[in-house]
Amino acid sequence: MIDRARAISLLPAFWHEAASIRGSPTSALIDELVAMLRPVERRIDTFDTLLDPHRAPDGMLPFLAAMAGLGSLLPHWRSAAASEMARLRAILICWPNLRQHRGEPAALSRALQLILGVTPVIDERSCFHISIVLPEAIEDQAQLATAITNLIKPAHLTHDIVFRDGPT
């Protein structure tokens, strides 16, 4: 943290004498400068928390998602409710591992499970097409399921998403 003496030492030499006289306009200016810098320095000292999905405030999570390449999911996100932000936080925490395993059925299944809250059935009978079965109860999230699938599946695969009654 910058203190008065440090602030004065950063000024050109001709300011040092005037700044050291208490009650002078220059001294008051230095005091205000130090007071103004305190909140900025506190923010700088805790900046790493803004980039850590474990500790970032909820309002920062959409930015982190966009920076991590998850921006295509954000338009489909339901709300900024605490439960939704908790899910987004969990996704951001798991994303490096999921991204590393892009193209693997387990990664696609895990991503769908994290984001949609259901375990999908992935049918990979063909080398070029997969079918994903999800419960009908989440059919309103079809666009989100498609966005997730497009992020994780190999680029050469086509896919369809089927909604069926019963457990998956």
Q: Do 100 and 159 share a domain, yes or no?
A: yes
Rounded Cα distance, 58 and 2, in Å: 30
Range of the domain at 154: 51-164
Rounded Cα distance, 2 and 43, in Å: 13
Q: Do 129 and 86 share a domain, yes or no?
A: yes
Q: Do 41 and 81 share a domain, yes or no?
A: no
The H or E element spanning position 49 is helix 47-51
Rounded Cα distance, 103 and 150, in Å: 10
Each residue of 50-108: pLDDT tens digit? 999 999 999 999 999 999 999 888 887 766 677 788 888 999 999 999 999 998 899 99
Each residue of 113-144: pLDDT tens digit? 988 989 999 998 888 999 999 999 999 999 99
Q: Is the dihedral of CA 51, 52, 57, 58 positive or negative?
A: positive
Total-model pTM: 0.69
Per the structure, the count of domains in the chain is 2
Residue entry with tokens 């896919």: 159
Each residue of 9-42: pLDDT tens digit? 988 888 888 888 888 898 898 999 999 999 999 9
Phi, psi angles (nearest 5°) of residue 129 = -150, 140
- Decide if pLDDT at 168 tops 50: no
Q: Do 96 and 139 share a domain, yes or no?
A: yes
Calculate the alpha carbon distances from 131 to 2, 5, 61, 96, 115 in Å. 60, 68, 31, 25, 18
Q: Do 57 and 71 share a domain, yes or no?
A: yes
Q: Do 65 and 14 share a domain, yes or no?
A: no
Q: Do 34 and 56 share a domain, yes or no?
A: no
Q: Do 136 and 55 share a domain, yes or no?
A: yes
Rounded Cα distance, 122 and 144, in Å: 16
Q: Do 55 and 39 share a domain, yes or no?
A: no
- Decide if pLDDT at 4 tops 80: yes
- Do 31 and 20 touch, CB atoms closer than 8 A? no
Q: Do 77 and 159 share a domain, yes or no?
A: yes
- Do 55 and 49 touch, CB atoms closer than 8 A? yes
Q: What local confidence, expressed as pLDDT, does residue 165 receive?
A: 80
